[in-house]
Every structure is written in structure tokens, then in C-alpha cells.
């Protein structure tokens, strides 16, 4: 009786597996250019797409992998994979086990939800693909070092990655030896590096949110990156940064928000980069720069309420703190503007005596938030007896630079994306934007002489 019941269960499982294993058969029977519509159901198999087909899921069909290898492998160019729940790939980093492994060009991967995966979407020597509106969630049970990246590019060029949400992987986007990539309108949170470039030149990322990571973006051994209208928010932990630049050159950061991070921006061996019109606010440390980071230019940036504006590892950096007579706005600036031209009449010395003392004795950090550190900061301005730093903004701005794009982004997000996410970002940044407004009003009432 027991054996018969067990045999019956085994037969039922076998039949179910046979019924659910029809997707690969349909793909194999299809002709190049066919569209295969999959109406719901669960398919327990790994599939390989080796011809030009468009695989469209209706009703969120589930592709559940066997637990070994990649769940979907795309070998043919010009394929589409859309509308699927994809879960349970293998666990071998060296084999690139992924939810979706792409080894061809000109494919479209959109509107899929990936979970219980090692790598999310892996592009291997694959050009001109569009990866959009996917949700990728890694394996929380693994340590960050054991996980793969959410969207991983290796030796792949001219790809577009847009409107994806990535969390709980090692890195959100890992871009190595991959040039001319456009990364826009994504949200990346709760992982190591939101965006990680390695030897990847001439790439652009726009309007992304990198929050609650170890580092928002780690840009390494790279040239010609353009980063605009991004938010790097609340990236905190041991050695955490909003943005890290290591051996980066000729990059442009324009109109980004870098707020509430341990260190706003970190520079090492990075030269000839341009930072303009950014908000760098409420970080423990706004800028950390090695002496070998030279010829970087800062103009039109808002440095607001950072505990420390600048730490230099070495003596000085040969940075340029203005361009064409336009410096930056510093909330700690106490100068005046007698000729009302919007430029402070005395230079802004970019220094923090408490940070200088801390570099000499690490135990001083215990008093970072104490009244003593605040009193030291005030007294150092009245009696500058320590030559802390030679860095100086000769033309500091009296009023902060407005950030008009932010309102446009949030209005767009509330209509097209997750309203709850947009609301949470707004609630975090409202105090920052209010502080900018208050400073502007106060200065206007006092004739810009405070």
C-alpha cells in the first residue's frame, strides 16, 4: 500500500515535470523570427535560446532553474525575453551561473523579475543589448563576497541598462572592459558597490539612485566617464563612499546629489576630472583626496553642512577650486559680498583644524561631535595659528546653485515608477533642500553680507 502510494506520487511528479518541460521543446521547434507567447505556469528547466526568437511571458510564468548552471542562456542575436519570473540558478561564480546569461548581440531583456540567483543578468562578449525594467534580487543567505553582480558586463560594448532595480547582490552593475555603456534611471540599494567600473572607458550614467550601499559608485582605471543627475545617498559602513575614483581621468560629474555618506567623494591617482553643479551635503567628510590626485576642477558645487570639507593624504593636491572666476558655494563660508556680484570678497580656506589634529592622533575622533570640536573650529577662524591646508577657493559663491532637475525627476518618478520609493527619497532629501532655501532667504534679507 505504501509502495503503491509512493509510486503514484513519483508518477505524478514525473508527469508534472514532463508537462512543464515543454518550453525548450517549443524553442527548438520554432523558426528564426518566431514569437512564442507563454501563458503562465511553472517550467522547471534550464533553457538555451540558440535561434532568433521572441519569448514573451503573459501572467508572469516562472522559469525555475535546476539549481545548476544558468537558467536562461542566449546564444543567438536579436532575441527577446520579457515578462518572466526567473529563479534558482547554480552557485558557481567561476562558471558565471546566472539568471540570464547572454553570449550574443542586439537582444532585448525587459520586464523580468529575477530572484534566488548568483549573477542576475550576465553579458559575456555581447554588444548592443537593451536591458530594461528588470528587478534583480540576489541571495541574502550568501555573504557579499560569495554573491555575483546584479547586472554584469564583461568585454561588452554599446549596451543600454535602464530602469532596473537591483538589490542584495555583490555589486549592482559591474562593468569591466566594456565601453560606451549607457546606464540610466536605475535604482540600486543594499549591496557592496552600486556601480563598479573596471577598465571601462567612455561610459555614461544618468538619473540613477544609489543608496544604502557600501559605496554608491566605484570608478576604477577608467577614462571619459560622464555622470549626471544621479543620487548617491546614505552609503554607510566601514570605508564607505558616495563615489570612489581610483586611477580615473577626464571624467565629468555634473548636477549629482551626494548626501549622507561617510565620505562623499574619494580620489586617488585620479587627474583632470571636472566636478560642477553638484550638491555634496551632510557627509561626515565631503572630500578625501590623495596628494597624487591632481588637476581636478571644482566649480559651481554646493558644499553644505558636511562635518569636514576636505581631508588630504599628503600636503596638497594641486586641485582647481574654480573655473573662469566661478568657485563653489560653502555653507561654512563667513565672508561677505560688498559689491553684490555673487562672489565672496575674501577667499574660502578649505580646511578643518579638528580633522588635522585627528590625522596626528586617531584617538581625537572620539570627540568628533563634541562641543570642544565645534569651539576649536570657531576659534581657528578667529585665530588661524595652524597652517592646516593650502587649498583655497578664491571665488566662493555667496548663494547655492539651484538644482532644478531634481523636481523634474521626482515628478517623473511619481508617475512612472514606484511611488513609495520616490516618497522615501523625497523624505530624506527634504531637509537638505530646505537648508539650501533657508540660506538663500537669509542671505537675501541681509543683503548677502552674512
Residues 276 and 188 in one domain: no
Final residue before a domain boundary, out of 159, 183, 206: 206
pLDDT at 19: 47
For residue 348, being part of any structural domain is answered with no
Residues 71 and 111 in one domain: yes
* 212, pLDDT greater than 80: yes
Distance in angstroms (rounded) separating the CA atoms of residues 341 and 217: 36
Q: Is 201 helix (H, G, I), strand (E, B) or coil?
A: coil
C-alpha of 67 from chain center: 30
Final residue before a domain boundary, out of 136, 171, 206: 206
Of 95, 105, 50, the C-alpha closest to 70 is: 95
Name the helix (H) or strand (E) containing 372.
helix 371-382
For residue 76, being part of any structural domain is answered with yes
The Cβ of residue 437 has, within 10 Å, a number of other Cβ atoms equal to 11
What CATH number has the domain bearing residue 39? 2.160.20.10
Distance in angstroms (rounded) separating the CA atoms of residues 360 and 356: 7
Residues 124 and 265 in one domain: no
Residues 121 and 256 in one domain: no
Cβ-based burial of 57 (10 A; exposed 0-12, middle 13-18, buried ≥19):
buried
* 153, pLDDT greater than 80: yes
List of long-range contacts for 266-275, beta carbons under 8 Å, 24+ apart: 266/241, 267/293, 267/296, 267/317, 268/292, 268/293, 269/293, 270/245, 270/246, 270/296, 271/295, 271/296, 272/296, 273/245, 273/248, 273/249, 273/297, 274/299, 275/299, 275/301
Of 2-16, 59-73, 383-397, least confident by mean pLDDT is 2-16
Distance in angstroms (rounded) separating the CA atoms of residues 287 and 233: 15
Residues 260 and 199 in one domain: no
| Confidence tier at 356 by pLDDT (50, 70, 90) | very low
In this structure, is the dihedral angle defined by the CA atoms of residues 418, 229, 153 and 118, taken in order, positive or negative? negative
| Confidence tier at 317 by pLDDT (50, 70, 90) | confident
Of the chain, the percentage scoring pLDDT greater than 90 comes to: 70
Final residue before a domain boundary, out of 173, 206, 239: 206
Segment 368-394, tens digit of pLDDT: 555 654 554 554 555 454 455 579 999
- CA-based radius of gyration for the chain: 26
Residues 169 and 235 in one domain: no
Q: What is the DSSP letter of 402?
A: P
Residues sharing a CB contact under 8 Å with residue 257, sequence separation 6 or more, in sequence order: 230, 231, 232, 233, 278, 279, 281, 403, 406, 429, 432
Residues 125 and 161 in one domain: yes
Of the chain, the percentage scoring pLDDT greater than 70 comes to: 77
Of 15-24, 130-139, 307-316, least confident by mean pLDDT is 15-24
Q: Is 295 helix (H, G, I), strand (E, B) or coil?
A: coil
Higher local confidence (pLDDT), 443 or 86: 86
pLDDT at 316: 83
Segment 100-118, tens digit of pLDDT: 999 999 999 999 999 999 9
Distance in angstroms (rounded) separating the CA atoms of residues 328 and 278: 10
pLDDT at 428: 54
pLDDT at 10: 52
Residues 46 and 130 in one domain: yes
Q: What average pLDDT does the segment 303-312 reach?
A: 93
For residue 16, being part of any structural domain is answered with no
Q: What average pLDDT does the segment 272-291 reach?
A: 96
Confirm whether pTM is higher than 0.85.
no
The Cβ of residue 302 has, within 10 Å, a number of other Cβ atoms equal to 24
pLDDT at 426: 55
pLDDT at 420: 46
Whole-number mean pLDDT of the chain? 85
Residues 126 and 244 in one domain: no
Question: What residues pair up with 132 in beta bridges, in sequence order?
Answer: 110, 162
Into how many domains does the chain fold? Answer: 2
For residue 246, being part of any structural domain is answered with yes
pLDDT at 314: 85
* 312, pLDDT greater than 50: yes
**How far are the Cα atoms of 116, 217, 349 from residue 142, in angstroms, in the given order?**
10, 22, 46
* 266, pLDDT greater than 50: yes
Out of 13-22, 345-354, 390-399, the most confident range is 390-399
For residue 68, being part of any structural domain is answered with yes
Say if residues 177 and 154 touch (Cβ distance below 8 Å).
yes
pLDDT at 216: 96
| Confidence tier at 174 by pLDDT (50, 70, 90) | very high
Residues 198 and 216 in one domain: no
Q: Is 103 helix (H, G, I), strand (E, B) or coil?
A: coil
The label of the residue with cell 537591483 reads 166
Distance in angstroms (rounded) separating the CA atoms of residues 182 and 202: 10
The total number of residues written for the chain in this structure: 450
Residues 433 and 298 in one domain: yes
274 is in which domain, residue-wise? 210-317+399-450
For residue 84, being part of any structural domain is answered with yes
End-to-end Cα spacing for the chain: 92
Q: What average pLDDT does the segment 403-414 reach?
A: 62
For residue 135, being part of any structural domain is answered with yes
Residues 172 and 286 in one domain: no
* 221, pLDDT greater than 70: yes
pLDDT at 404: 72
Say if residues 60 and 85 touch (Cβ distance below 8 Å).
yes
Q: Is 34 helix (H, G, I), strand (E, B) or coil?
A: coil
Question: What residues pair up with 246 in beta bridges, in sequence order?
Answer: 220, 268
Q: What average pLDDT does the segment 186-206 reach?
A: 97
For residue 3, being part of any structural domain is answered with no
Distance in angstroms (rounded) separating the CA atoms of residues 290 and 268: 5
The label of the residue with cell 570640536 reads 373
| Confidence tier at 353 by pLDDT (50, 70, 90) | very low
Amino acid at each position: 500500500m505504501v509502495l503503491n502510494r509512493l509510486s503514484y506520487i513519483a508518477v505524478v511528479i514525473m508527469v508534472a515535470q514532463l508537462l512543464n518541460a515543454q518550453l525548450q521543446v517549443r524553442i527548438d521547434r520554432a523558426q528564426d523570427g518566431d514569437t512564442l507567447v507563454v501563458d503562465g505556469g511553472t517550467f522547471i528547466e534550464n533553457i538555451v535560446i540558440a535561434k532568433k526568437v521572441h519569448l514573451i511571458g503573459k501572467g508572469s510564468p516562472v522559469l525555475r532553474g535546476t539549481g545548476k548552471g544558468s537558467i536562461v542562456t542566449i546564444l543567438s542575436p536579436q532575441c527577446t525575453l520579457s515578462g518572466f519570473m526567473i529563479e534558482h540558478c547554480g552557485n558557481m561564480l567561476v562558471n558565471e551561473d546566472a539568471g540570464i546569461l547572454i553570449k550574443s548581440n542586439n537582444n532585448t531583456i525587459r520586464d523580468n523579475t529575477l530572484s534566488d540567483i548568483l549573477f542576475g543578468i550576465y553579458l559575456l562578449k555581447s554588444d548592443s543589448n537593451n536591458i530594461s525594467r528588470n528587478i534583480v534580487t540576489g541571495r541574502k543567505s550568501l555573504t557579499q563576497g560569495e554573491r555575483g553582480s546584479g547586472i554584469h558586463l564583461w568585454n561588452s560594448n554599446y549596451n543600454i541598462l535602464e530602469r532596473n532595480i537591483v538589490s542584495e547582490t555583490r555589486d549592482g552593475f559591474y562593468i569591466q572592459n566594456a565601453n560606451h555603456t549607457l546606464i540610466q534611471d536605475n535604482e540600486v540599494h543594499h549591496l557592496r558597490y552600486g556601480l563598479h567600473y573596471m577598465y571601462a572607458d567612455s561610459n555614461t550614467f544618468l538619473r540613477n539612485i544609489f543608496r544604502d550601499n557600501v559605496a554608491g559608485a566605484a570608478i576604477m582605471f577608467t577614462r571619459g566617464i560622464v555622470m549626471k543627475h544621479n543620487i548617491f545617498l546614505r552609503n554607510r559602513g566601514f570605508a564607505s563612499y558616495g563615489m570612489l575614483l581610483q586611477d580615473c581621468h577626464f571624467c565629468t560629474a555634473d548636477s549629482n546629489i551626494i548626501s549622507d555618506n561617510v565620505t562623499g567623494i574619494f580620489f586617488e591617482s585620479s587627474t583632470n576630472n571636472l566636478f560642477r553643479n553638484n550638491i555634496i551635503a551632510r557627509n561626515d567628510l565631503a572630500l578625501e583626496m590623495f596628494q597624487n590626485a591632481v588637476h581636478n576642477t571644482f566649480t559651481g558645487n554646493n558644499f553644505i553642512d558636511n562635518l569636514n570639507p576636505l581631508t588630504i593624504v599628503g600636503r596638497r593636491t594641486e586641485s582647481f577650486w574654480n573655473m573662469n572666476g566661478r568657485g563653489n558655494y560653502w555653507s561654512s563660508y563667513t565672508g561677505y559680498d560688498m559689491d553684490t556680484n555673487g562672489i565672496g570678497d575674501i577667499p574660502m580656506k578649505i580646511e578643518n583644524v579638528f580633522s588635522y589634529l585627528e590625522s596626528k592622533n586617531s584617538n581625537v575622533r572620539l570627540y568628533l561631535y563634541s562641543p570642544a570640536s565645534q569651539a576649536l573650529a570657531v576659534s581657528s577662524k578667529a585665530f588661524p595659528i595652524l597652517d592646516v591646508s593650502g587649498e583655497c577657493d578664491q571665488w566662493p559663491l555667496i548663494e547655492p546653485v539651484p538644482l532644478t532637475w531634481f523636481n523634474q525627476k521626482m515628478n517623473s518618478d511619481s508617475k512612472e515608477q514606484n511611488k513609495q520609493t520616490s516618497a522615501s527619497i523625497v523624505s530624506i532629501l527634504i531637509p537638505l533642500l530646505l537648508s539650501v532655501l533657508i540660506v538663500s532667504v537669509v542671505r537675501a534679507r541681509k543683503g548677502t553680507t552674512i
